[in-house]
Copies of this chain bind each other. A is one copy, B any other.
Amino acid sequence: MALALNREELSQYLTEVFPQVREDFAIDDLTEDTITMRLLTAERHLRPGGTISGPSMFALADVCVYAMVLARLGRQALAVTTSCSMDFMRKPEGNTQMIAQCRLLKLGRSLAVGDILMFSEGSDKPVARASMTYSIPPQGSAAAQFG
């Protein structure tokens, strides 16, 4: 139950393997089984009316669980998303950043599961919830398969 990468190492590794992360997301906090990330809201994340798009919220939830798995397993891991569910509960504020609080519920030999609550920064009413399952590559394998 120890972290293989600390917050700085994780942040640097994410930007190496996943360059678009750098402009879109930042890591606020990391523990052994939680991560808090934020969407650096920009024009490209918005929908008409000034609300944050569904795909941007999906991406935020997805990167949280991916980052959490990397933080625990280290640089060699190449996990893939196998399933997700999301509920959209309130209109997000388009002119604020979005905060995602993720818990790692399971890190098994082949599957990892995390759940996520998302908030407009400064509000305590959840905008959306998500759960994400990742398939984890076997030891020594370069990449996960879809199972």
Contact = CB atoms under 8 A, between A and B. Distances in A.
Interface of A: 17-19, 47-49, 53-56, 58-59, 62, 80-91, 105-106, 108-111, 113, 115, 117, 126, 129, 131, 133, 135, 143, 145-147
Minimum-distance CB pairs A-B, first 3: A111-B147, A85-B85, A55-B55
Given A82-B111, A83-B87, A129 B146 contact: no
Nearest to A105: B126
Contact of A89 (B88, B126, B146): B146
A111 B135 contact: yes
Contacts of A108: 89, 145-147
Q: Which of A49, A53, A86, A90 lies at the interface centre, i.e. has the most chain B CB atoms within 10 A of its CB?
A: A86
A143 B82 CA distance: 21
Nearest to A112: B147
Contacts of A145: 108-109
